[in-house]
A and B are shown apart, each in its own frame.
Chain A
Amino acid sequence: MSSEHDPRLAERDRPWMMRTYAGHSTAKASNELYRRNLEKGQTGLSVAFDLPTQTGYDPDDELARGEVGKVGVPISHRGDMSALMDGIPLGEMNTSMTINATAAWLLALYIVAAEEQGVSEEQLQGTTQNDIIKEFLARGTYAFPPAPSMRLIADMIAYTVEHVPKWNPINICSYHLQEAGATPVQEIAYAMSNAIAVLDGVRERVGDRGPDIMEQVFGRISFFVNAGVRFVEEHAKLRAMSILWEEIGRERYGVSDARHLRFRYGVQVNSLGLTEAQPENNVQRIVLEALAVTLGRDARARAIQLPAWNEALGLPRPWDQQWSLRIQQVLAFETDILEYPDIFEGSKVMDALVAELLDGARSEMAVVAEHGGAVQAVPYMKAALVDSHRERIRRIESGEQIVVGQNRFQESESSPLTEDAEGGILVVDPKVEAEQAAEVARWRSERDQGAVDDALARLAAVAGDPASQDNLMEPTIAAARAGATTGEWARTLREVFGSYRAPTGVGEASAAPADADLEELRAQVSQLQEKLGRRPKILVGKPGLDGHSNGAEQIAVRARDSGMDVVYEGIRLTPSQIAASALQEGVHVIGLSILSGSHRELIPAVIAALQDAGVQAPVVVGGIIPDQDVAALRSAGVAAVYTPKDFDITRIMRDIVALVGEGSERPAVAVASANAAGNGSA
């Protein structure tokens, strides 16, 4: 074969950036973890923040209870950020931060931490996730209402384009849409509509600053996508996204530079499809999903982080994360995928798949546009996602969609991987919360309070004037420098912007197609109604700051479809809220869902609050609940615990009906998760 027919690239491609989504307990502990990960060949950082940091609360806030240091690292002020990045040269590092509502604040802390290292902001490289629409749709860590949230995002983009030019100020996330049940078409359409809403918002804010500004802004927008185990179609999805993106850039924003039109994305592959049953199978799933985002050169990821095999069990340990990093390294350094040009070029199958997805996505984007764009269409998109997720669960329940080890081939030897005392997961020391609470109090007492007050007053003044031309980033950075805390920054803005609750999507969700199982369940519910004198009534809600509501929503919709009255309370509930609702609504049973690992603290607190209120209704709990915690929850008074391996929601409903039927006498509490609770991470 002559060299002009050599199918190989002249030079092997450089691998993508390799990251691990990591952070837990404290800034210091996370810093040690990052340094070890970098020594192992990781090439970028991906910071996981805990839920209080993500939603704008300090560790000593009542709402932070049980959540401090759990799903990520708590960062309250510039001292924490400096400790987190200690010894890591920020002028060279590429850092991705999964941060949204409080993204402007965390970027400000990062800029100040860099200053302390003597690194100027224009050298900084990295990404803030900063995609608030998907928080309203799928992830739940929003803090402010839509309009001021979009203003914050627009200001951040305007600021970084000018002052932090190598920063990706926003990662439009289709990732979480897939976790919430999106089909590939929905994932493409909603992500693109979301990007359009952001770009339109920026254009409104800075469009008058010369003709080049939108060209530059467009070039800084990147995506964060998902890839499921149907990896051929998933690859086609990414090719479709890159075609659409270029089209939007040219046609809507007049972008012409090919570099700026390129569809740039990072990826975390699918967590929704990872199972608690036979969790070792997740390794194969992760490998195949990684192929979806690396196989074809024309739509290859810029940065990859892979979930750990045991995510559906609890928080992964450093060793579990190392395994996922090694998957990337084997792919990049042992296989030959980086040696060829695009291997799907000219493939009829791939082209047809891409065309089909493009057609579907364009028409769904038109529907979103008819609703007035992505911000206005949040309720529509949310309801559509709840519907898609319900359909997915139905297919798994009926066996139409095979999940190895879960609904087929369930027989298994016992696993040596989960045999240690903690069941093969990381358990955050419960002392962390109290220590962090004390630490932030100490920080507040040692700083120049006058400077902090002035900085926050300035922030409030700029935020309070919606017509202000002043960029919110400037007073934000000044507050970070003065030593303000995450909770103070967010509280200042909450006071000006007001608070907000996103639509739940469950009210609009259409009814399930009735099958024999559901009909039988409805008959049982009717019998129970006769016995109770009223229609059985269930309270479904999520205590704590965890915003992954997909599971709770599915439980709520199925309870309704089985004939119950459902009080759906959504996310971020305090124990006293749950108790007051249960009492006032006269519910017969309470279903709580928690995925953040805070069940050890929060569930007993809810049960105590219910007892104080004199509520007799049983409690069931669902979520990512490690086996070794089940007994403790049961003895605290929980009637039943469901985990991702309980994927059959109709069966959970039958349990609940039986529970209510047997026990107007017996107090109990059940928490339900089921696969419906999802295994979502990130």
Chain B
Amino acid sequence: MSEEGAALGTRLRERDLSAAPAALNLLESIAPEDLREATALLAEVSPAALGGEAPAHVIGITGPPGAGKSTLLSSLLHAWRAGGMTVAVLAVDPSSRRSGGSLLGDRARIEFDPADRGVLIRSTAAGDRLGGLARATRAAAEALAAAFDIVVVETVGVGQAETDIADLADTVAVVVQPGSGDVLQFLKAGIMEIPDVLVVTKSDLGEIALRTRRDLSAALRSLGAAGTKVVAVSSLSPPSGIEELLTALSEHRAGLDLPSRRLRARREGALVELAREDGERAVRALGGRPGALAVLERQPAGLGSDALARALREELRS
């Protein structure tokens, strides 16, 4: 890598969006020299270096294939840009192939102005990794959150990806299409974590969309999660529900104790990172989840999840 990690991190901290592509190249690399530079980059965008939490609203958007996530994202992008917000989208493809290769088609489905420097879309493959995120997604989201106003992490699935996304996003929105009973069942059965916002797409379908919305609201109430907003949107012209969704997302963010949610997210993120990269055995060696959390709680609050994961590994070696 020609550009040093620290310099890229500094540029991101100064909200220089043009540093983002090179920063992502670095964060995705596992070449030993790049890993060192990535550490330096992440240190520059840690809460300690920023003097507080990164400014972006980090939003997880997840849902089954065909639910309308890309179309929804197109509408959201349009609305955010109209409001002057800069947006980064990290689109994670779930496909896992024996060849290891992947086809990343999301970008083609999201509509945006290619000349607009305020939007960045980056596609990555989750590969064989469990949890629905790619190896570098968490680090990428933390780094971009220093520079952009909105960071969206888009994943595919229901019941698998939300846990990891919840440990990384401020707000998790699950997207479902009308008539999809599986989400309802997953919610009731507790297989799926309760999202912060539920989005029912294709509300132009009428009665079936209304019924889905009612059923989801009822299920959430019975689970004691009446605070989760259910928003119905339609992207057919004229689009509807987007304003309501934007409000639901920002209200959720405004209602958060952001520093404690982010701190918890970084600690959980570090734990997940250790489990994914080094295996559950490593977690057990630290005394399981409670033991590992105890180690994490001793660390300074301003460390990024990458530094926290390193602290866990150091604890293992000691």
Contacts and interface: CB of A to CB of B under 8 A. Distances in A.
B123 interface: yes
A562 B99 CA distance: 6
Contacts of A579: 114
Contacts of A574: 114
A580 B103 contact: no
Interface in A530-580: 532-535, 556-557, 559-570, 574, 576-577, 579-580
A577 B114 contact: yes
Contact of B101 (A561, A570, A581): A561
Given A501-B109, A565-B102, 17 more contacts: A501-B108, A504-B105, A504-B108, A507-B103, A514-B98, A533-B31, A534-B25, A534-B28, A535-B125, A565-B123, A565-B125, A566-B101, A567-B104, A567-B107, A569-B107, A570-B108, A580-B115
A176 interface: no
A462 to B, nearest CB: 15
A522 interface: yes
B122 A506 contact: no
Contacts of A566: 101-104
Interface string B21-37: 11011001111001000
Contact of A561 (B22, B99, B120, B123): B99
B101 to A, nearest CB: 4
Contacts of B298: none
Nearest to B28: A534
A568 B108 contact: yes
A560 B102 contact: yes
22 contacts: A504-B105, A506-B105, A507-B95, A509-B103, A511-B98, A533-B34, A534-B28, A534-B29, A535-B100, A556-B103, A557-B103, A560-B101, A561-B97, A563-B99, A564-B101, A567-B104, A576-B114, A584-B21, A585-B104, A585-B122, A586-B21, A586-B24
Contacts of A399: none
Q: Which applies to chain B's interface (DSSP): helix, strand, loop or mixed?
A: mixed
Given A501-B109, A535-B125, A585-B122, A563 B101 contact: yes
B122 A565 contact: no
A62 to B, nearest CB: 11
B107 A581 contact: yes
Nearest to A583: B21
B121 interface: yes
Given A504-B108, A585-B123, A565 B114 contact: no
Interface in B255-305: none
A533 B30 contact: yes
A287 interface: no
B103 A584 contact: no
B82 interface: no
A376 B95 CA distance: 23
B29 to A, nearest CB: 3
Contacts of B236: 498
A501 B236 CA distance: 14
A494 B82 CA distance: 21
A283 interface: no
Contacts of B107: 567, 569, 581, 585
